[in-house]
Amino acid sequence: MRGMGHVLTEHSNRIGTLTLNHHERRNALSAALVGDLLDGLHMMEQAKTRVVILRAAPGAKVWSAGHDINELPEGGRDPLGFADPLRTVIRRIEDFPAPVIAMVEGTVWGGACELAMSCDLVFTTPETTFAITPAKLSVPYNVSGLLTFLNRMPLSLLNEMAFSGEPIPATRAHALGAINHLVPAAELSAFTMAFALKVARNAPLSVTAMKRSVHILTAAKALPPITFEQIQGERRKVWDSRDYKEGIAAFKQRREPDYRGE
């Protein structure tokens, strides 16, 4: 087990494990933690890892609190731009040559929901909850992020989660096909490792080709430039708004936000 600041890495039997390990900030996806994740993934690609398991420390109550709110811009620019750490690590997981399994326990918030659902497989416990939170913070989620969710869950569930911002139980996400397996907490780690060993015994070139082909096919949404600009225009109204500043200020001041639609 190697420590990389906020992420622990382990590697055996061609299986790599990345453990989110920044409890003090509830594994918030800060630039520092994401940097450690990217370093771990780089090391695993060099080692020709055949499966990666992404998890939090055993018994963690919060798998990840999502984007580090302190690192969101104060306003006036896209809070989820292409180079943003969250966007960077999502793309890296999607591009990683081997399957990445999100082994999720505890509560999952905002961008961390997308991080988990950008993984190729999601194994959780029945007690796990997921909350898509942009509406709580007046953040305009971005196009590729919404596509990640739409590729993982039906529109009805995404609308419910995105508009309410409230946590939903993994049991509902599983019933609607967004989660691969619900496993009792005591068995989740062994279940995940057993599955990973099955994949690691298979032909890696075939697995990589299928992972990459499926990702290209699911990402292939014809989006004329004018349509993309129209969406960006809708998003700009939000990140330029008074409400956007209010959402971040309310979190930092630990109070309920007062949104006015302006």
- Assign 261 to helix, strand or coil: coil
Q: Is the dihedral of CA 79, 82, 83, 88 positive or negative?
A: positive
State which residue has the least CB distance to ligand YXS: 110
Neighbouring CB atoms inside 10 A of 240's CB total 14
User: Is 117 near ligand YXS (CB under 6 A)?
Assistant: no
User: Is 137 near ligand YXS (CB under 6 A)?
Assistant: yes
Please identify, among the stretches 46-54, 67-75, 193-201, 232-240, the one whose residues bind ligand YXS according to the rule CB under 6 A.
67-75
Catalytic residue among 66, 111, 145, 247: 111
Toward ligand YXS, which CB reaches closer, 40 or 111? 111
**Residue 131: which of 68, 96, 173 has the closest Cα?**
173
Residue 39 tokens, joined: 């370093």
Active site residue 111: yes
Contact with ligand YXS (CB under 6 A) among 15, 54, 69, 115:
69
Toward ligand YXS, which CB reaches closer, 53 or 139? 139
User: Is 133 near ligand YXS (CB under 6 A)?
Assistant: yes
Greatest CA separation for the chain:
56
Active site residue 259: no
Instruction: Please say whether the beta carbons of 248 and 72 come within 8 A.
Output: yes
Instruction: Please say whether the beta carbons of 158 and 136 come within 8 A.
Output: no
Measured distance CA(92)–CA(131) in Å, rounded: 23
Toward ligand YXS, which CB reaches closer, 98 or 122? 122
Quote the least distance from Cβ 116 to ligand YXS, whole Å: 12
Contact with ligand YXS (CB under 6 A) among 63, 96, 109, 123:
109
User: Is 66 near ligand YXS (CB under 6 A)?
Assistant: yes
Give the pairing of strands 15-20 and 51-56: parallel
Quote the least distance from Cβ 206 to ligand YXS, whole Å: 35
